[in-house]
Amino acid sequence: DTGVSQDPRHKITKRGQNVTFRCDPISEHNRLYWYRQTLGQGPEFLTYFQNEAQLEKSRLLSDRFSAERPKGSFSTLEIQRTEQGDSAMYLCASSLVVEELFFGSGTQLSVL
């Protein structure tokens, strides 16, 4: 499969725990994006990388959130001290040219 891969597909955690998600973009894509989607809403931008540089972060990305993309390849999104409001689908996308985004299947997070 040469598409965008996200792991895990589902994550259930208790409030206060830390969680980490992984995204593997399409191999030649230099841009990588993270979006968050809650039930019944459209995705909301969180952050994006060009190669290994994190170029922009949304105000939605509180201090408990951190994203990395070492060596400009895969990316991780970590949420510390999870809260029930963090429950959502976390979507990763990648692109080679700026306008055509390819999304992964997402990681569904449930915080109990």
Q: Please say which residue, 19 or 43, places its beta carbon nearer to other proteins.
A: 43
Q: Which of 33, 22, 20, 23 is nearest to 79 (CA)?
A: 20
The one-letter amino acid code at 96 reads L
Give me the least distance between CB of 56 and other proteins, in Å please: 6
Q: Does 60 bind other proteins (CB under 8 A)?
A: no
Beta bridge pairs of residue 69 = none
Q: Please say which residue, 50 or 66, places its beta carbon nearer to other proteins.
A: 50
Q: Does 74 bind other proteins (CB under 8 A)?
A: no
Q: Could you give the CA distance from residue 104 to residue 79 in angstroms, rounded to a whole number? A: 19
Among 81, 100, 110, 112, binds other proteins (CB under 8 A): 100
Assigned token pair, 34 = 């993270």
Q: Does 61 bind other proteins (CB under 8 A)?
A: no
Q: What does DSSP say about strands 88-95 and 31-37: parallel, antiparallel, or unpaired?
A: antiparallel
Collapsing DSSP states into helix, strand and coil, what is residue 11?
A: strand
Chain residues binding other proteins by CB under 8 A are 4, 6, 33, 40-45, 48, 55-56, 58, 91, 93, 95, 98-106, 108
